[in-house]
Amino acid sequence: MDVSLAKSLMGLRATTGNDVLRGMENHFVPALRNCKKTEQLKKIHAHIVKLSLSQSNFLVTKMLDVCDNCGDVDYATLLFEQLVEPNVFSYNAIIRTYSHNHLYSFAITVFKKMMRHPRNSTENLMLPDRFTFPFLIKSCAGLLYHSLGQQVHAQICKFGTTSHCITENALIDMYTKCDDLKSAYKVFDQITDRDAISWNSLIFGHARLGQMESAKALFDKMPCRTIVSWTTMISGYARIGCYVDALEIFRQMQIVGIDPDEISIVSVLPACAHLGALEVGKWIHMYSDKNGFLKKTSISNALIEMYAKCGCIDQARNLFDQLIERDVISWSTMIAGLANHGKAHEALELFREMQKTRVVPNGITFLGVLAACTHAGLWNEGLKFFDSMREDYHIEPEIEHYGCLVDLLGRSGRIDQALDMIMKMPMKPDSRIWNSVLSSCRTHHNLEIAIIAMEKLVEIEPDESGSYVLLANIYAELGMWEGVSLVRKLIRSKRIKKTPGCSLIEVNNVVEEFVSSDDSKPFSKDIFWILKVLALHQYPSNDELEFEQDIEQAWC
């Protein structure tokens, strides 16, 4: 603090009166407003103490705001606790600070203290105001304390602050996060002046529960959509696997003139990865580079995954090598990408490099490592990595890790060992594990264990056609035609239908999906005509009937 300012304040302190006291307090306001670091705050605080103003609720509230901006919760706690008679503004400031720093239980504890704390010996309890409740509700939402949130809602009604839009939006957010959409709608219906936050909170609630039809209905009714509205829809569709819809919403967002932000980009890139929408992914890469988004590790990680899943492993590796900061997700994504592209030894080498950089691997990292061992047939190394995961990094294997190990052992011909591993699993094996065993049995002609795997699959997925077909193929390859006939009769008796195949193609940044025997596309006739033209080159001498039959078979 300036020396002249300190001297002037000392002079003012010699006089008395509320106006003079307020003037002394106001002298600190510019300094506190420009304060960015705790070290600066401590110097200002020292002058405040020196002038015997440490019990000023006005100044303590201002200092708590500085602590909130700096994220220094410990110093904020010290400031608040030294107050003998905190007022509602001080209470609000400390509750807000705890809430902003995700110390939700502390915020609730302070509120309880506020309700019990008398303002003085003659007045009643400290009364909260409309600035108290939004951050208290946020704390209930952060802890998913539904019953406590309802009690706070009752307090809001009691003190007559329900008409405050920020409070009402906080209630909707709390109820949706606690999966109580019925109560959220009640609050929503009572709002006289709904803003975008009110709509977005309800849309988020439906999207969070995977209810995208309801979310889309609300989205279509919104009077004014924000980037948050679009992003919530994109991430909601991507979360439930409706990647085509996610890309369509992203495309519509651009058509209406809303530029993607970092969150919307991270939300849509998984859809690009799963659909193989490489052109859209490349555009996002250029857009992110132009707008400086690549500095965010999360966006770079999503781009690496997109390139890897779209088959562009070299582009993924180039982007990975350009990263200045690599977190565990960066390493894990790149290791998995290399493994899935058959570059198993390169993936394992990258894992060793990761260990040298002292980045601690997680369960996802080891999934990539085990996948690399599977593709390279390194069953012995895979077992060592599996043991290292538990012993060296204290990571408890999940069903996905056991699935990788079973697949590794099965592909290596150690089917008995794989079956023994399944029996020792701490959790019940799922259909993917038994399908992996069945596939290995076909490769290594092990009918005995194949029947065991098939019995388990019938229990888990009795109507899945793929398992029956695989078992029939095993019988056929062993020349056991009676077994083939038995499986086929079983398929007919159960009336099991084969899941129709589908394919995706990207044209003009739009991904189109084609399903077998589905002619509902508006351009189906054009496709059928092109198939005829292509078939002419293969069947130049066929008569018209044979030609039409082959075309029909190709289409279906």
CA atoms of 462 and 484, how far apart (whole Å): 18
**Residue 293 and residue 239 share a domain:** yes
Whether 77 maps to a domain, the answer reads no
Q: Is the pLDDT of residue 16 over 90?
A: no
The domain boundary residue, chosen from 310, 325, 340:
325
Whether 44 maps to a domain, the answer reads no
**Residue 450 and residue 350 share a domain:** no
CA atoms of 146 and 179, how far apart (whole Å): 9
**Residue 375 and residue 288 share a domain:** no
CA atoms of 160 and 154, how far apart (whole Å): 10
Round the average pLDDT of the chain to a whole number and report it. Answer: 86
Residue 58 tokens read as 């006005």
Distance between the two ends of the chain, CA-based, in angstroms?
A: 81
Whether 418 maps to a domain, the answer reads yes
Average pLDDT over residues 334-343: 96
Closest CA to 419 of 443, 444, 390, 450: 450
pLDDT value at residue 26:
83
- Per-residue pLDDT of 206-265, as tens digits, reads 999 999 999 999 999 999 999 999 999 999 999 999 999 999 999 999 999 999 999 999
- 415 and 449 in contact (C-beta within 8 Å)? yes
- Strand ranges, E, within 211-325: none
Whether 34 maps to a domain, the answer reads no
**Residue 391 and residue 404 share a domain:** no
Q: What are phi and psi of 114, to 5 degrees?
A: -65, -40
**Residue 291 and residue 261 share a domain:** yes
Closest CA to 271 of 291, 287, 250, 292: 250
CA torsion 340→345→351→357, rounded to 10°? -130
Residue 7 tokens read as 């001297």
Average pLDDT over residues 119-134: 68
CA torsion 221→226→231→236, rounded to 10°? -20
The domain boundary residue, chosen from 350, 374, 397:
397
> Range of 526's domain?
502-555
Buried b (16+ CB within 10 A) or exposed e, 113-135: ebeeeeeeeeeeebebebbbbbb
- Per-residue pLDDT of 496-540, as tens digits, reads 555 655 666 656 556 666 666 566 666 667 777 777 777 666 545
Higher pLDDT, 466 or 43: 43
513 SS3 class? strand
Q: Is the pLDDT of residue 401 over 50?
A: yes
Q: What is the DSSP letter of 125?
A: B
pLDDT bin (cut points 50, 70, 90) of residue 298 is very high
267 SS3 class? helix
pLDDT value at residue 7:
46
CA atoms of 381 and 534, how far apart (whole Å): 49
Whether 436 maps to a domain, the answer reads yes
pLDDT bin (cut points 50, 70, 90) of residue 469 is confident
Q: What is the DSSP letter of 361?
A: P
Lowest mean pLDDT among 168-172, 267-271, 544-548: 544-548
Average pLDDT over residues 136-157: 93
**Residue 276 and residue 318 share a domain:** yes
Q: Residues 343-348: contacts with CB within 8 Å, 24+ apart?
A: 343/313, 344/372, 344/373, 344/375, 344/376, 344/378, 345/372, 345/376, 347/371, 347/372, 348/372, 348/373, 348/376, 348/378, 348/381
CA atoms of 410 and 432, how far apart (whole Å): 13
Interhelix angle 328-340/344-356, rounded to 10 degrees, is 160
Whether 141 maps to a domain, the answer reads no
**Residue 320 and residue 360 share a domain:** no
Lowest mean pLDDT among 204-213, 400-409, 478-487: 478-487
Cβ atoms < 10 Å from Cβ of 191: 16
**Residue 344 and residue 268 share a domain:** no
Element of type H or E holding 554: helix 544-555
Q: CA separation (Å) from 527 to 163, 520, 542? A: 58, 12, 21
**Residue 320 and residue 275 share a domain:** yes
**Residue 316 and residue 217 share a domain:** yes
Locus of tokens 């290292």: 388
- 452 and 416 in contact (C-beta within 8 Å)? no
Angle at 516 between CA 515 and CA 517, to 5 degrees: 115
**Residue 405 and residue 335 share a domain:** no
CA atoms of 296 and 373, how far apart (whole Å): 31
pLDDT value at residue 472:
77
pLDDT value at residue 458:
79
Q: CB neighbours of 302 closer than 8 A, spacing ≥ 6?
A: 265, 266, 269, 270, 273
Q: How many domains does the chain have?
A: 4
Q: Is the pLDDT of residue 36 over 80?
A: yes
22 SS3 class? helix
Percentage of residues of the chain with pLDDT beyond 70: 83
Residue 25 tokens read as 């307090």
CA atoms of 489 and 256, how far apart (whole Å): 56
Whether 277 maps to a domain, the answer reads yes
Whether 158 maps to a domain, the answer reads no
Measured over the CA atoms of residue 335, residue 336, residue 337 and residue 339, the dihedral's sign is: positive
The domain boundary residue, chosen from 275, 299, 325:
325
**Residue 473 and residue 511 share a domain:** no
